């Protein structure tokens, strides 16, 4: 779709084809295939997420020499990811795109947007405290999106594997996925709205690590909604003793999956009926004697003069009427 209203002269003197005129223009450089960015621009202007996140970061640059503000850099990076350009290296090519310029409140003939190097420096700029402030800002934005305070919310906690194609930070090998990458934890509510995310290495989190992160999340939500009931839902690796104790102490409802122990799974799949001799030995051990001693006891009982009618048969005592004459 054209991103400018300027008229470009046509190449004159071309002969028609099948009665149709042929027009040749030279404004192909001002075309863009990312027309959906205009709709995303309106959504971001209404939410103001880029400005909220930029307010949580301390900018060490000299104000007189700043050409691209933190909110502009974050907004450009968000639009890139939303349009399918996840790699930060694409910023060098998209900084001249006319549709991205319009989404960033710039005319197509205006100056270029920020480069890949500026995006990379901004992504590595926040420290631990700044990241905590950004996480709290996301929780505040989530709570502010409700018109009324809900009586109950459901939080779905899950981790997802993000494959890495280079030497990125926190990149580890995951045996389950057989690939290098990271394994961030994301939280959505029951209606599918994103609440928080934590970038982690590609390994299974421990119970203490999950509790440390959940404590901050629950405290932030309870700071806005102290009387709202919260239910947690997660996979089996979130079902640890530390997490269960935390949920009970904070009076949280929870639904966690329970994985079958590996040893039980192996033994149940290989279970076979025990041989008859093994069953007999087990029965003898439970009864407290061997088969020979049991036979000797039966022989002593028979020699004491007891009649067959007084000895118990297979189905109990044999009646006198059924005894042999």
DSSP 213-278: HHHHHHHHHHHH-TT-EEEEEE-GGG--HHHHHHHHHTT-EEEE--PPPHHHHHHHHT--PPPHHH
318, pLDDT greater than 60:
no
What pLDDT score does 153 carry?
Answer: 95
Asked if pLDDT for residue 322 goes beyond 90, the answer is no
User: Using one digit for the tens of pLDDT, what is the confidence trace for 7-24?
Assistant: 566 677 777 888 888 777
- List the structure tokens of 156: 């779905």
Count of residues in the chain: 325
Beta bridge partners of 313: 316
**Average pLDDT over every residue of 135-153:** 93
Q: Which residues of 293-306 are buried (b: 16+ CB within 10 A; e: fewer)?
A: eeeeeeeeeeeeee
Q: What is the pLDDT of residue 73?
A: 94
| Count of beta carbons in the 10 Å neighbourhood of residue 4 | 15
- Edge-to-edge strand list for the sheet holding 162-163: 162-163, 179-182, 172-174
Task: Report, in this order, helix, strand and coil percent for the chain, each rounded to 5.
Answer: 45, 15, 45
CA distance 114 to 119: 7
Residue 78's pLDDT is: 93
Task: Please state, rounded to an integer, the average pLDDT across all residues of the chain.
Answer: 80
Q: For residue 321, what pLDDT is reported?
A: 44
At 27 the pLDDT is 65
Distance, in Å, from the CA atom of 95 to the CA atom of 101, rounded to the nearest integer, reads 8
pLDDT for residue 306 = 47
Q: Domain spanning 128-260: which CATH class is it, in words? A: alpha beta
All structural domains of the chain with their residue ranges: 33-123, 128-260
Q: In the chain, what percentage of residues exceed pLDDT 70? A: 76
Is 37:54 a contact under the CB 8 Å cutoff? no
Give the integer Cα–Cα distance in Å for 314 and 249. Answer: 58
| pLDDT tens digits for range 98-107 | 889 988 988 8
- Check pLDDT > 60 for residue 192: yes
Higher pLDDT, 168 or 122: 122
Q: CA torsion, points 209, 214, 217, 223, in degrees to nearest 10?
A: -130
**Burial profile 204-239: b = 16 or more Cβ within 10 angstroms, e = fewer:** ebebeebbebbeebbebbeeeeeeeebebbbeebbb
Q: Which long-range contacts (CB under 8 A, 24 or more apart) does 191-198 make?
A: 193/142, 193/145, 194/142, 195/138, 195/139, 195/142, 195/155, 196/135, 196/138, 196/139, 198/135
pLDDT in tens, 148-190: 999 999 999 988 888 887 777 778 888 888 888 888 899 999 9
What pLDDT shows up at residue 289?
A: 56
Q: Which residue has the tokens 């996301």?
A: 138
pLDDT digits (tens, 9 = 90+) for 251-292: 999 999 887 766 655 554 555 555 666 667 777 776 765 555
Q: 302 pLDDT exceeds 80?
A: no
Token output for 141: 């934005």
Sequence-distant (≥ 6) Cβ neighbours of residue 56 within 8 angstroms: 126, 130, 133, 134, 137
Report the SS3 class of residue 100: helix
3 state DSSP class of 324: coil
Residue 313 has pLDDT above 90, yes or no: no
- Say what the pLDDT of residue 304 is: 47
Task: List 154's β-bridge partners, or say none.
Answer: 231
197 close to 203: Cβ distance less than 8 angstroms: no
Backbone phi and psi for residue 252, each to the nearest 5 degrees, phi listed first: -105, 135
pLDDT in tens, 20-72: 887 777 666 667 778 888 888 899 989 899 999 999 999 998 888 888 999 99
Is residue 140 very low, low, confident or very high in pLDDT (cuts 50, 70, 90)? very high
Mean pLDDT of 188-202: 89
- Asked if pLDDT for residue 316 goes beyond 50, the answer is no
Burial class (CB in 10 A: 0-12, 13-18, 19+), 273: exposed
């Amino acid at each position: 779709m054209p991103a400018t209203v300027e008229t470009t002269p046509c190449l004159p003197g071309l002969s028609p084809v099948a009665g149709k005129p042929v027009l040749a223009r030279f404004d192909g450089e001002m075309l863009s295939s990312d027309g959906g960015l205009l709709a995303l621009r309106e959504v971001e202007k209404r939410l103001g997420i880029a400005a909220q996140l930029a307010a949580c970061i301390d900018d060490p640059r000299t104000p007189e020499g700043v050409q691209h503000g933190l909110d502009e850099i974050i907004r450009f990076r968000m639009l890139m990811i939303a349009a399918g350009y996840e790699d930060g290296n694409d910023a060098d090519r998209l900084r001249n795109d006319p549709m991205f310029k319009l989404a960033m409140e710039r005319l197509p003939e205006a100056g270029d947007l920020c480069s890949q190097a500026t995006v990379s420096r901004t992504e590595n700029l926040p420290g631990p405290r700044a990241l905590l402030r950004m996480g709290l800002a996301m929780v505040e934005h989530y709570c502010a999106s409700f018109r009324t305070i809900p009586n109950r919310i459901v939080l779905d906690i899950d981790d997802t594997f993000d494959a890495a194609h280079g030497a990125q930070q926190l990149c580890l090998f995951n045996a389950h996925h057989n690939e290098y990458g990271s394994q961030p934890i994301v939280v959505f509510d029951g209606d599918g709205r994103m609440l928080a995310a934590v970038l982690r290495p590609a390994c299974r989190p421990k119970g203490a690590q999950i509790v440390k992160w959940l404590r901050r999340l629950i405290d932030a939500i309870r700071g806005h909604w102290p009387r709202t009931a919260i239910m947690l839902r997660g996979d089996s690796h979130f079902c640890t003793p530390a997490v269960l104790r935390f949920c009970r102490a904070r009076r949280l409802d929870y639904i966690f999956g329970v994985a079958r122990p590996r040893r039980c799974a192996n033994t149940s799949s290989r279970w076979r009926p025990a041989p008859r001799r093994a069953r007999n030995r087990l029965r003898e051990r439970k009864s407290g004697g061997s088969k020979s001693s049991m036979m000797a006891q039966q022989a002593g009982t028979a020699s004491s003069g007891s009649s067959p009618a007084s000895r118990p048969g297979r189905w109990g005592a044999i009646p006198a009427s059924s005894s042999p004459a």
